[in-house]
Amino acid sequence: MLISTSRMQAWLVPFLPIALDTGCSRTPRLTEYDEQSNSRARSAPLVVIGLADSDVPIGRPVPSRHDPDYPMQLHRVKVRIENILRGSLGEPTISVYYFEFGGGFDGPWPLGFGREPSRRILWLRRDGGSFRMACDGWDGCTMFVNSGSHPRYRADPQQPLSQALADILLTRGEGEINGLQFASQIQRGVPDQRIQGYVIEKLRRLALTEVSEIKRSACQQLWIYTQDRIDDRLRERAQDSLDAASCICGPKQGVMSLCQ
């Protein structure tokens, strides 16, 4: 829930409906998405993995289309493209625009990139001649990638996007990888509708080849599949994977499962 104040009203009085950086003639004139557009973020035609860097505000805050008393700030972030999961793109580096909350907020994770570079899966749209995130405000159009880089990965256009997400998020890539962050990423799970068997195989490989917290996270996700209301054969495959990787999991007071 956004927080509006009378002081914000005072800030916004002199602002134009779309106040952009007038010092850059190439800055596009963009409008904050409405709720319907935000709700369709994951159906965006372009999905990439990229290193996001150099996030900067553009111009002054503008009134939100949802609440004229609340400020939204246009940002531009530079993205170096590593993989294309859906759609096509010729440029190795692009500038992407989005609207960030310009005042206080209370709710889920907000969209933003900050000062430090981050590797993410990004859902993008074209708006005129510009690229922009497929959502504004709340972050419904990015996923962090903590499994390293995957420079040789090519998504199969004949397969659902969820399979490519599983490939990236549940496969150790190249470069420096923070084990705790990778383990947390595994625990958050991946979209698995109609590809549960595929995800179980990815988790099996992690449980067999990784150690410490990464192995435990893979084991925990496999254990969850043994408890889910899914096809008996899938539950058996998950249980077989637990046994093959010598995962010892079970419920514990206060937590759903504890794996070793």
pLDDT digits (tens, 9 = 90+) for 180-196: 999 999 999 999 999 99
Structural domain including 24 reads 1-144
In tens, the pLDDT along 16-71 reads 333 333 334 477 889 999 999 999 999 999 999 999 999 999 999 999 998 999 99
CB atoms within 10 A of CB 17: 10
Domain total for the chain?
Answer: 2
Is the residue at 236 inside a domain?
A: yes
* pLDDT over 50 (residue 226): yes
Which residues contact residue 100 at a Cβ distance below 8 angstroms, ignoring those fewer than 6 apart? 57, 72, 73, 74, 75, 110, 111, 112, 136, 137
Question: What does the block give as tokens for 174?
Answer: 């190249």
* Domain annotation covers residue 230: yes
Residues 2 and 72 in one domain: yes
Rounded to two decimals, the pTM is 0.87
Of the three residues 125, 144, 163, the one that is the final residue of a domain is 144
Residues 196/163, Cβ–Cβ less than 8 Å: no
Q: Is residue 107 part of a domain?
A: yes
**Statement to judge: residues 114 and 228 lie in one domain:** no
Picking from 133, 127, 130, 108, the residue whose alpha carbon sits closest to that of residue 50 is 133
Q: Residue 94 falls within a domain, yes or no? A: yes
- The reply to whether 93 and 178 lie within a common domain is no
Q: Which of 98, 123, 144 is the last residue of a domain?
A: 144
Same domain? 175 vs 136:
no
Residues 184 and 129 in one domain: no
User: Which one of 121, 144, 167 terminates a domain?
Assistant: 144
